[in-house]
Amino acid sequence: MINSYSEAVPPLLIYDVSGSRSGPGTCDSQTSFLFINNRSMADVVVWPNPASNYKDFAAAEARSSTPWQLNAFWSLESSEYYEQVKDARQLLRKGSEKAFDLEMTYLTTSDIPMPYAYSFINFFKPKIDYEQKRQDKIAAAFISNCSPMNNRKEVLAELIELLPGKIDSFGSCIQNANTTEVLEKLNLLEEGKKLSMWEEKTKIIERYKFTIAFENSNDEDYVTEKVCLSLEAGSPPIHLGLTSDQLEKFKPSPNAAINVADFPDVKSLAKRLEEISKNREEYESMLDWKNMPLSGDFGKIVRWGKESEWCRLAKLLRKTWSNPNAFNKQRYENFYLRRKLKPIQSFNLSAPMFHTKPHF
């Protein structure tokens, strides 16, 4: 038991408005966090999107009743799909009195960036030999949302038309291939073992020269696991969603991915894909990065993905870490002053006000 805030470095106490998270987490010898169900005791109140309604956040009331408490909005979903995320971000950027205190999203300039470079993704996973790649195909696609907020469905359909028999689409959107049939054809199934959807996808795309990694919307820094999984599998992603400049930070090397935005039309893209797929030397140069350390912006993004966002939140409020790219970091000083207003409280981790089951 930690008897008071003055006797030890206490965990950061977090209240999740949606009630979907619980339990403790240890980051290092000086940093830990704990999700609790007593809102009044929390250091930070987290508002997950879409599980919570941001209209329920009353900034003035919150800062008056619990001035030491910070409120953060959390989202891994594109702000193009969720207007409340876009609105919350704009209010924060404007410095509005109605704004949340902190942003926890995929945006690399948010206070706590949450990239899709999940900790279990091994970017240095050995690549399949060129000879083991499918020579009769060019790319695989797994797209299930047929109502995107961009033109990815049209681009995919045109690629399939321009490269007949070369593009296998496994998702429910414009499906022309079956995962089980392809796994059987390539002898990738193991008797008695049922593969997860993630394992099926990985086993398939690592056999294709390219992976179509089209996002469901064009939103700054919204680069999902589609790109990361493709990089892990050694199947360079064909990306749609960001501009050329925006995508650079998400590539381990300049030629590690192909961006639809770099081509005047889909016909030019299709022609280029055919050229590279027939040129072994050029194709394999796209995977040279797997033999080098990850550095620059991409290396930073991967490091962020290796550590829980809750650990980085705790470290931010302990002044041991901050995002160098975060906007308007001067406002953090106000956070630190506000936190000093919190009354010293005794607390027992076994008390019913705390969630104690493991946090995953």
Q: In angstroms, rounded to a whole number, what is the distance separating the alpha carbons of residues 203 and 208? A: 10
Q: Looking at the predicted structure, is the pLDDT value of residue 45 above 50?
A: yes
Domains of the chain: 12-116+307-339 (no CATH), 130-302 (3.40.50.11660)
**pLDDT tens digit sequence for 241-293:** 999 999 999 999 999 999 999 999 999 999 999 999 999 999 999 999 999 99
213-249: burial string, b at 16+ Cβ within 10 Å, e else = bbbbbbbbbbbbbbbbbbbbbbbbbbbbbbeeebbeb
Q: Looking at the predicted structure, is the pLDDT value of residue 4 above 80?
A: no
Count CA within 13 A, CB hemisphere, residue 48.
13
- Let me know: does 114 contact 104? Beta carbons within 8 Å: yes
pLDDT of 113 reads 98
Sheet of 139-141, strands arranged across = 167-169, 139-141, 210-214, 237-240, 258-259
Peptide bond into 50 cis (omega under 30): yes
pLDDT of 349 reads 55
Q: Determine the residue type at 90.
A: Q
**pLDDT tens digit sequence for 151-186:** 999 999 999 999 999 999 999 999 999 999 999 999
Strand (E) or helix (H) holding 209: none
**pLDDT tens digit sequence for 136-145:** 999 999 999 9
How buried is residue 130: exposed, middle or buried, by Cβ count under 10 Å (0-12/13-18/19+)? middle
> Binning pLDDT at 50, 70 and 90, where does residue 8 land?
low
pLDDT of 351 reads 52
